Amino acid sequence: MNEILLTIIFIAKRVLLLSGTGALVVAALGRPGFSLGLLAGAACSLANLSLLGMSLVRIAETPPPMIARFAGWRYVLRYSITGATLYLALRWGTPQFIGAITGLLLVKYVILAHGVLGYRGRWK
C-alpha cells in the first residue's frame, strides 16, 4: 500500500470513531437532527479526503501539460460535493446544518490534533 492510502485510512478510522460516538451521544441527548448532519458532514469530508488522495496519485502519473486542468476539475468536484452537502443540510434545518459543518471540519480537527500532539509513528 502506498503512503497516501495509509494516511487516508489512518485519518478515516479516527473520524469514523469520533463522528459515530458523537452522533450516538447527541442522539441520546435528544438531538437526532444534529446527529444526522454530523454523519452526513463526516461522510462528505471523508469522500473529499479520498478524492484528494486519488488526485495526488493520479497527478504524479499525469503528463505536465494536463496537470493544471486535471487538478482544477478535481478541485471543482470536491467543492461541489461540499456545497451540495451544505445546501441540503441548510434546507433540512439549522441543527442539521450545524452538524454538517462540524462533520466537515472533523477531518481537519483530526489532522490538527495529531500534528499538535506530535504524532511520530507511521500512518497505520
- Would you say residue 1 has pLDDT above 80? no
Q: What is the pLDDT of residues 6-44, one digit of tens each?
A: 888 888 999 999 999 999 999 999 988 899 999 999 999
Query: Each residue of 70-109: pLDDT tens digit?
Result: 888 989 999 999 999 889 888 988 888 999 999 999 999 9
Query: In whole angstroms, what separates CA 15 from the centre of its chain?
Result: 8
**Domain ranges within the chain, ordered by starting residue:** 3-116
Cell numbers 463522528 correspond to: 19
Dihedral sign (CA 10, 11, 14, 15): negative
Classify the C-alpha dihedral 65-66-69-75 as positive or negative. Answer: negative
